[in-house]
Structures are given as C-alpha cells and as structure tokens.
C-alpha cells in the first residue's frame, strides 16, 4: 500500500512552545492517520512569518511559499483551529486567504492545483461554534479545489465561558476520539482513491 502524506496546519494564536489544544487535536489526527499508512507533520503557522495577502508569495521574507510547498507535496491537508468569538482564529482565516491564490494556479494537466487533495478540519474551544467554524473552513477549502470525505471534521468544545482546555479535559475516546478515528479512516480512504484515479478536469 502506498504511503500518503498529510500536513496539519495548526492555527493557534500562541507561538511554540506554548501549549495548544488545537495542535494537540491535530497531532491526534496524525496519529490516527498513521494507522492508515499516512505519514504527516504539523506546522504551527504562527511560528512562521506568514504575510497577509492573497498571492502565493507576498515577498519581503514571506514564509508562506515554504508552507505552500508542503501543502503541494501532501495528499491530505488538515486545518486545526481554535474558536474565538464563534469564529475560526485569525491565523486560520489568513491561511484560507493565502489558499485563495490557488484558484488561479494549475498543475501540469491544467487542473486547479488543489484538485485531488483531501481536506479535513479540527476545531477546539470553550464556547459554541464548532459546526459554524467547520462549515466555514470546509467550504473555503472546497472552493479552492479540495475534496472532503464523509465525517471530515472532528471537534471538542468545553462549557461556554469555561476555563478547561481540550488538553486538560482528559480522555475522550467515545466522543472526539471516535470522530477523529472516522475522520482519519475516511480521509485516508478518499485520498488513496483520488491518488489512484485523479479527477479528469
């Protein structure tokens, strides 16, 4: 079986080495994907000097081109974001804006550059909004060419206005854990299908 590649873009507002619940959930997805012959890595976007913009390279030391190369090399992209005020993080929104450039990029066969890649989303927060954030991010990724598998998202939300983070909430095998396992299985399955039989147009 061919080993696929996955990239998780962690969209925490906190730079490393600060603990991040969205990064933790992203790493749990990578561990679940490994059970399906998928290798992967996580990039915490805020650790890099990514410029605002909607091109593939904003110049002036922009770190996005290096991250973009990792996106292009992967068959699976996972966006892991916290919820802030019911919305994806500003870092997540910046990533989506940078991916907007892919609307005008094509591969060697003239297909949009992200065709054939599968996207998934991981969301954490201490308030409602996980479904809204998932819908917003998956729709944006689909707009630029990513496919989405069944059950292509996993999330955890704590009590509204609460103080408990995902990383401190203890084992969640029957809730978030089950959703993460389904995400990994279905996303890897679809990515393998598309690798073997790409879209024609």
Residue 111 in domain: yes
Q: How many domains does the chain have?
A: 1
Residue 95 in domain: yes
Distance (Å, whole) CA 93 – CA 52 = 10
Residue 15 in domain: yes
Residue 162 in domain: yes
Segment 47-62, tens digit of pLDDT: 999 999 999 999 999 9
Distance (Å, whole) CA 16 – CA 113 = 30
Segment 86-133, tens digit of pLDDT: 999 999 999 999 999 999 998 888 888 999 999 999 999 987 899 999
CATH code of the domain in which 36 resides: 3.40.50.360
CB 89 within 8 Å of CB 82:
yes
Q: Which pTM was predicted?
A: 0.95
Residue 108 in domain: yes
Residue 46 in domain: yes
Segment 130-175, tens digit of pLDDT: 999 999 999 999 999 999 999 999 999 987 777 888 888 887 768 8
Our CA angle for 17, 56, 13, nearest 5°, is 25
Distance (Å, whole) CA 83 – CA 162 = 13
Residue 201 in domain: no
Q: Which domain holds residue 14?
A: 4-196
């Amino acid at each position: 079986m061919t080993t696929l590649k996955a990239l998780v873009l962690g969209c925490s507002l906190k730079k490393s080495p600060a603990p991040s619940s969205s990064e933790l959930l992203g790493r749990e997805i990578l561990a679940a994907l490994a059970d399906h012959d998928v290798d992967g890595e996580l990039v915490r976007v805020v650790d890099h000097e990514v410029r605002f913009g909607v091109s593939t390279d904003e110049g002036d030391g922009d770190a996005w081109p290096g991250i973009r190369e990792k996106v292009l090399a992967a068959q699976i992209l996972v966006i892991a974001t916290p919820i802030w005020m019911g919305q994806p993080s500003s870092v997540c929104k910046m990533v989506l804006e940078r991916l907007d450039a892919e609307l005008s990029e094509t591969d060697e066969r003239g297909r949009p550059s992200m065709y054939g890649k599968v996207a998934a989303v991981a969301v954490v927060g201490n308030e409602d909004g996980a479904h809204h954030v998932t819908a917003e991010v998956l729709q944006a990724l689909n707009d630029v060419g990513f496919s989405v598998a069944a059950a292509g998202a996993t999330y955890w939300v704590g009590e509204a206005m609460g103080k408990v983070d995902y990383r401190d909430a203890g084992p969640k095998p029957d809730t978030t854990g089950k959703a993460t396992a389904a995400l990994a299985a279905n996303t890897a399955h679809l990515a393998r299908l598309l690798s073997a039989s790409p879209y024609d147009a």
